[in-house]
Structure 1
Amino acid sequence: MRKAPLLVLALGCLAPLPLAALEVRFHPADTVYSHEVDAGRGLSTVVLQNVALVQREGGAVTVESLEIDVRAGGQTVQMQAVPTAALDASAQQMSALEAAGVLKLYDFHFQTSRSLGEGIKMAPSRTLAAGTGLLVGGRALMLAGPADEIAVIARGKDAAGRPVEAQGTLQVRVHKSPNEYRFPLAGTSYVGAAPSLHSHHRWAVPQEFALDLVALGGEGRTHKGNGETLEDFYAYGRDVLAVGDGEVVEAVGDAVETRDRLRQPGESAEAFLQRTVAEQNKLLAQGLRAPLGNYVILRHAGGEFSQYVHLKQGSVRVKAGDTVRRGQVIGQLGQSGNSTEPHLHFQVTDGPDPLYSRGLPVVFQNVAVEGLDLEGPIPLQTGWVVTAKP
């Protein structure tokens, strides 16, 4: 009888550990859109914006590898292994940002609330305890041919050394809009930023396929002189046109413009960047939409929304509820909000929220690319000079 407690203890030591419940999650979920780079060579790019490895319950699991497989017709045609050093760095960085409150403040950018899910905290390392996760953001792939699926496979071990594996998949899609859009500016424009991988737009969900549009002078610059005033910029005050028929969902036109946000003569790039970040934080303190400045959002057929941002103060000509026609003037290009020089920030999304909707690829029916034998509905690239045909 005295041996019974020892038997119970022994049996307790042999009880299995709770199984790991590792998951691979995505935001945006289900689908990733490709951006055509070179149709003749069959080249396109995709970006996995947010890949989250989440351990919901059970024992801890240590992630040992993360593999991204591109598949076509059920066969793997391309594979990318994410270095463990990158996983370590991401865990350390994101957990530090969470502790500092940055992820909550900038959730519209990182969107961790949607990729991790409610109640999940950032793990400080590749070892994920129950209720923690590891976020891997911005994994870019160049596709050299057709692809229909991307699989992300996480492998690791639990505390007992047992292998753990989780997999998630995304469908690769070429977006086909039900609408025929026309360029939002007349004449010739310079595409300062597009969905190219070296553009800052590509790495944020709402503006993944957004455009920054300016104008160039004869000397190839965006402004005359030192660019000390807003009027020095060639694009400032140009009419902004509705890209398609639609209804005005939202319109803001009273945000203040200032030339103080321009780079000042003699100001170093580093000093300008520091000042820009400080000004951005001041705007965010006024509200999450303050960095947009003056803007118009239109609803189009098929659940698509066009958004026109940083418009000139006092130039917005429409209000919520108005019906607009393609080519109608809705405002003027300006310098309001988080803008370092006058430009039009334009994007098409799957919802009206400029911060939490998903960006959609967009092409225009009436553009020709200067210096290239390209025109019509083609994806635009950073650095192109384009002319809108009447």
Structure 2
Amino acid sequence: MLSALFLTCRLAAALLPAAANSTAAAPGAVTITVAPSRVLLEERAGSHLNFDFAVQAGPDSLWLSKVEVSVYDRSGALVLRKFVDNNGFSPSVSSLSHRVFAPGQVALVFNPFHTFAPDVEVARLAYTFEFQDAKRKAVTQALDVTPERYQPRAALKIPITGRLLIWDGHDENAHHRRLDFHHPVAQQVGIRSNFMRYAHDFVVVNDKGETHGGDGKKNTDYPGFDQPVHAPAAGRVVAAYSAQSDNDNGQDYFNPGDMVGKDPLLLYGNYLVLDHGNGEFSLLGHLRQNSLVVKVGDEVRPDQVLARIGSSGSSYFPHLHYELRTGAAMNVEGLPAYFTKFRLVRGSRSRTVPSGTVDSGDIVVQERK
């Protein structure tokens, strides 16, 4: 079996275009930058990284053939080395978000090496990108990434009470994570960064994990609709909007054009932004129309009711969008959120989490006394 697999890989490699030996990229051949420049490390049963590579081809088209990373600990010792390449009939490099770069084009390549086991100390990551140009000449580019472990200063609590499903978090498959801010549509509406990089969509569910009754077409089919939204921590209201109609029963009132001419945060429909201090802001979105009970300038206390769950803005059904971020405007950066005193449910078992992160698919219970 091993020999057959080896032969298959060799055959597939033989059918690919030949390449010269790799050489360092000629000046201007390719430019690769890390986005965001400040790379944060989120700790949850290991280390999780959430950043992108902005790749810009020079005067020639480029085809990405390999990405390799070497992980080093604080002493400088090599911990492990991983790569994706074009070997095999279904090469792993094809899983990357972009592989072909036209001259002068900037495109995002989502970091393929994002999760490391608890026993892997991640102090420095050395990346190597290998390309081929139109003449099949190999071009390589290397860059280092030094991540920073991040713990928010605000003592955050999940903003909704009860049993919740993280419908979409920020793992590698989540749409929050895969916001390609170099996409033409994103550029057109003014998106220049991934502000929702660490976002969560909280959905109220029943004991069976069901999100709704009936056919799910009406907002009232969802037990979460009109449920209270609480302040995740103390803060001051610095931005708010509440006049957007809720999408309901097939009616979609979200207009992306409003984001350009009126308010970019209307992506979230009705929203609220809290300044917790220390450069940490909470954004709560898709709130029910006219449900806000606070206004800009108000100081709020932890657990205070702020609004109610709706389905406004870019929303398909009632839920709460939550993100911790570096500012109140659109083009800021996301921050990892660690919530306190919730229960993580694993089937018939559950455990109390004093402080920790949550992500896509998790079922949690947040209680308030």
Instruction: Determine if the TM-score, normalized by the shorter chain, exceeds 0.5.
Output: yes
The partner residue of 1:168 within 137, 143, 147 is: 143
Q: Please name the residue that 1:45 is paired with.
A: 48
Extract structure 1 runs of 4+ deviating beyond 4 A: 59-64, 131-134, 155-165
Q: Please name the residue that 1:9 is paired with.
A: none
Q: Please name the residue that 1:68 is paired with.
A: 69
Take 1:56 and 1:70, find their aligned partners in 2: how far apart are those partners?
A: 28
For residues 149 and 253 of structure 1, do their structure 2 counterparts lie closer, same or farther at Cα, with a shift above 3 Å needed? same
In the alignment, does 2:358 pair up with 1:369? Answer: no
Q: CA deviation at 1:366?
A: 2.2
Take 2:107 and 2:358, find their aligned partners in 1: how far apart are those partners?
A: 34
Q: Please name the residue that 1:379 is paired with.
A: 357
For structure 2, the 5+ residue unaligned runs are: 1-24, 87-92, 180-193
In the alignment, does 2:227 pair up with 1:238? Answer: yes
Task: State the one-letter code of the partner of 2:314.
Answer: N
Q: Please name the residue that 1:112 is paired with.
A: none
Q: Please name the residue that 2:27 is paired with.
A: 20
Higher helix fraction (1 or 2)? 1
Q: CA deviation at 1:28?
A: 0.6
Secondary structure at the aligned position of 1:289 is classed as helix
* Residues 311-338 of structure 1: per-residue CA shift (max 9 Å, x gap): 0111011222221111111111111111
Q: Given that residues 192 and 214 in structure 1 are in contact (C-alpha distance below 8 angstroms), is that contact kept between their aligned partners in structure 2? A: yes
Q: CA deviation at 1:173?
A: 2.7
For structure 1, the 5+ residue unaligned runs are: 1-17, 93-122, 263-278
Q: Given that residues 235 and 299 in structure 2 are in contact (C-alpha distance below 8 angstroms), is that contact kept between their aligned partners in structure 1? A: yes
Take 2:27 and 2:132, find their aligned partners in 1: how far apart are those partners?
A: 9
For residues 76 and 132 of structure 1, do their structure 2 counterparts lie closer, same or farther at Cα, with a shift above 3 Å needed? farther
Q: CA deviation at 1:143?
A: 0.4
Larger Rg: 1
Aligned length: 313
Alignment of structure 1 residues 275-314 onto 2, 5 Å: 283-287=255-259, 288-314=264-290
Take 1:87 and 1:219, find their aligned partners in 2: how far apart are those partners?
A: 34
Task: State the one-letter code of the partner of 1:192.
Answer: W
In the alignment, does 2:296 pair up with 1:320? Answer: yes
Q: Given that residues 205 and 212 in structure 2 are in contact (C-alpha distance below 8 angstroms), is that contact kept between their aligned partners in structure 1? A: yes
Percent of residue pairs identical = 23
Task: State the one-letter code of the partner of 1:76.
Answer: L
Q: CA deviation at 1:24?
A: 2.4
Secondary structure at the aligned position of 1:184 is classed as coil
Take 1:168 and 1:367, find their aligned partners in 2: how far apart are those partners?
A: 39
Q: Given that residues 242 and 290 in structure 2 are in contact (C-alpha distance below 8 angstroms), is that contact kept between their aligned partners in structure 1? A: yes
Alignment of structure 1 residues 351-366 onto 2, 5 Å: 351-353=327-329, 355-366=330-341
Task: State the one-letter code of the partner of 1:385.
Answer: V
For residues 89 and 347 of structure 1, do their structure 2 counterparts lie closer, same or farther at Cα, with a shift above 3 Å needed? closer
Take 1:294 and 1:61, find their aligned partners in 2: how far apart are those partners?
A: 43
Q: Given that residues 288 and 308 in structure 2 are in contact (C-alpha distance below 8 angstroms), is that contact kept between their aligned partners in structure 1? A: yes
In the alignment, does 2:334 pair up with 1:334? Answer: no
Q: TM-score, normalised by structure 1?
A: 0.71
For residues 76 and 233 of structure 1, do their structure 2 counterparts lie closer, same or farther at Cα, with a shift above 3 Å needed? same
Task: State the one-letter code of the partner of 1:209.
Answer: Y
Q: Given that residues 165 and 205 in structure 2 are in contact (C-alpha distance below 8 angstroms), is that contact kept between their aligned partners in structure 1? A: yes
